[in-house]
Amino acid sequence: MPLDHDVIGVESEPYERSWTSKDTLLYAVGVGAGLGDPLRELPFTTENSAGVRQRVLPTFAVLAAQAPLGRRFGDFDPAMLVHAEQSFELHRELPPEGTVRTTSKVTGIYDKGSGALVVTEAAAVDAATGDPMITSRSSVFIRGEGGWGGDRGPRTTWEEPDRAPDHKLTYETRPEQALIYRLSGDRNPLHSDPAFAARAGFDRPILHGLCTYGVTGRALLHALTDGDPSRFRSMSGRFTTPVFPGESLTINIWVDDRTARFQTLKPDGRPAISHGVATFI
């Protein structure tokens, strides 16, 4: 069944989502906080350490702002869908527990030839005050759904700076990282079921793109803001190459005033996340 282009621009009904202190702690561990040095990131991994108040990793914003779309945009094999791009903007620091009210919509469906790129946007406000909290934008690539001769979509330009990175950080992931991360809500069997992963063309389950994104966000947070989430404003990136649980990730960061470009590389040097941009104060 072709994708339904009539969904473009149709805003969903408001969707309310709450999270607890436990949810944000589990998310932090799910993206590797504390791995290798359990004392290094206590504000994100504990709620009762002496002299340490709990805080939230900025990339949790992507999960907090997730909401169902008002309508399905077509029927397709879910094994053919991969996360292509993700960005978010924080309008305030996230609290360890809270509630947001989110509306979402499809903003574009583009013909990439071998597949379709579906772009969505979500706007989350504080449920109690109505104040803006998160704007999240995401795109997914659906293999086999392109080729109708439609608009290929806007082109984005990104160039790697012609100099050594200002920061180069390598973070490990656990062999069981996907099993921990999935407990934050993404139960897609692509990341846990070998049979489902084989249908998608992988010899074993891959790591969630948003887990790689969260590991990268930790590196950016520590390199750009000395670990202070109140100074983190936005992050965007393109998922380029799948990561397998247990692989290390090297994040190269180039800083220009209050904007940073970044790439996340696999052990073989291929980019897992490219076209990375983050802003901070």
Please enumerate in sequence order all residues whose Cβ is within 8 A of that of 34, keeping only pairs 6 or more positions apart, or say none: 28, 40, 41, 42, 44, 45
- The rounded radius of gyration (Å) of the Cα atoms in the chain is 18
Please enumerate in sequence order all residues whose Cβ is within 8 A of that of 102, keeping only pairs 6 or more positions apart, or say none: 14, 15, 16, 17, 65, 66, 67, 122, 123, 124, 125
Which DSSP letter does residue 122 get? E
d(CA 117, CA 120): 10
Q: Taking Cα atoms as reference points, which of 281, 278, 226 lies closest to residue 251?
A: 278
d(CA 71, CA 59): 26
- Catalytic position from the list 83, 111, 191, 208: 191
3-class state of residue 134 by DSSP: strand
d(CA 232, CA 280): 5
186 is catalytic: yes
- Catalytic position from the list 23, 83, 111, 186: 186
**Catalytic residue IDs:** 186, 191
